[in-house]
Amino acid sequence: MDDSLNHLLPFLLRPQNVARYEEGVVVIGDRRKYPFEQAFVHCPDVESAAQAIEQMVTQGGGPWQVAVLALAMAARQAAGLSADEQRLRLEQARTRLVRTRPTNTALARRLDEAMTAANQAIDRGEPAEQAILDWFEQTRTAIYRDYRVRAEFGAGLVADGDGILTMCFAETAFIMAMALAWQSGKRIRVYTPETRPYLQGARLTAPSLHELGIPVQVIGDSMPAYLMSRGMVQKYFTAADLVTLDGHVVNKIGTFQLAIAAHYHAIPYFVFSWGPDRKSPTRDSIVIETRNPDEMKQCRGVPTTSSDIDALYPAFDITPPHLVAGIITEHGVLSPYDLKRYFG
């Protein structure tokens, strides 16, 4: 990886701290424990890697990296077997890994691409593990280059003195955009809703911005509209778990509620995305992951209500295109109504 990005990347987003491959073991930065601990989870097989994704050890740009490295692990463990048996083992691993995140189709797409590289290597009688790792390294380098391009577009939208609202942990492109804006002398202030139940805003976004020296304040998930009404917010930025070809944005639950509040206050909402999912033409094609409601009844392991009370935990929501001012892609800040022209 290119070290020249390090002044734009906090601890959490440096590639080696997201996920890495150590002699057939996938090592994952544990975002559940950050910032209280800088811990890593070691996964020696596909099942433990899949469970790590399901248990939210990583999120955002992490799951696809873990999934592809887990596929390399499956290839390594099948290395001595026949070509057919290797293909079967890889297919089993792929199926298990895709199941970890039904909403985020980027994970499935990247696994398919890595599978293609692996199968081509098997056809040639070469080690599939190395082919997957080569594909991974190449793809990750391209992705960080893409982050940088989108971060420049994002920073260009920020004005000196802006109050910036975000939601959850909008990851590398957003953090880089804020770093570029700040380092170019724009005096910004970022408000990060804590993002219940897993507190990604309080635990990941706020400490990452703080580490880069950018003024940031944690707020409750119910506070953004009030800040907007006081003139404290000029722009709203999030990432997206998925964008449909017709411009619907799927992201962490709460994103939609804040997009409505932003629209009410005439505040533009911008979305960092590497582009729409060609397999998701409209909102009807989206599967919203519903997680175990018990996760909504605790905060860092402490109960928040009686054990006999019911709860609900839809993990994502859908923001319609008329609430979106722009989708920030490698092609620029696009209208959500114009994605087909670039990605269709």
Q: Is 98 in the site for a second copy (CB under 8 A)?
A: no
CA distances for 105 relative to 34, 80, 95, 101, 216, angstroms: 26, 31, 13, 8, 31
Residue 176 or 227: which CB sits closer to a second copy?
Answer: 227
Q: How far is the CB of 190 from a second copy (least distance, A)?
A: 10
Nearer to a second copy by Cβ, of 208 and 273: the residue is: 208
Q: Does position 266 bind a second copy by CB under 8 A?
A: no
Cα distances (Å, whole numbers) of residue 237 to 54, 191, 256, 278, 303: 26, 11, 12, 23, 31
Q: How far apart are CA 144 and CA 170, in angstroms?
A: 15
Rounded Cα distance between 181 and 216, Å, is: 14
182 contacts a second copy (rule: CB under 8 A): no
d(CA 164, CA 183): 16
Q: Say whether residue 223 binds a second copy (CB under 8 A).
A: yes
How far is 331 from 244, CA to CA, in rounded Å? 16
Nearest CB to a second copy, comparing residues 76 and 203: 203
- Alpha-carbon gap, residue 283 to 319, rounded angstroms: 9
> Per rule CB under 8 A, is residue 239 in the interface with a second copy?
no
The two structure tokens encoding residue 320: 């319609």
Q: Does 291 bind a second copy (CB under 8 A)?
A: no
The reply on whether position 284 binds a second copy by CB under 8 A is no
Task: Give the one residue of 305, 340, 341, 344 binding a second copy; rule: CB under 8 A.
Answer: 305
Contact 28, 52 (CB under 8 A): yes
Per DSSP, what are the bridge partners of residue 165? 191, 236
Mark the segment that binds a second copy (CB under 8 A) among 59-67, 119-127, 186-194, 268-276.
186-194
Annotated catalytic residue within 134, 221, 241, 246: 241
3 near a second copy, rule: CB under 8 A = no
**Contact flag: residue 257 with a second copy (CB under 8 A):** yes
Task: Out of 23, 37, 284, 310, point to the residue binding a second copy (CB under 8 A).
Answer: 310
Note whether 202 and 192 are within 8 A (CB): yes
Catalytic site residues?
Answer: 241
> Interface with a second copy by CB under 8 A: which residues?
35-36, 167, 191, 193-197, 199, 202-203, 206-207, 210, 215-227, 229, 253-254, 256-258, 260-261, 264, 293, 296-297, 299-306, 308-314, 317-318
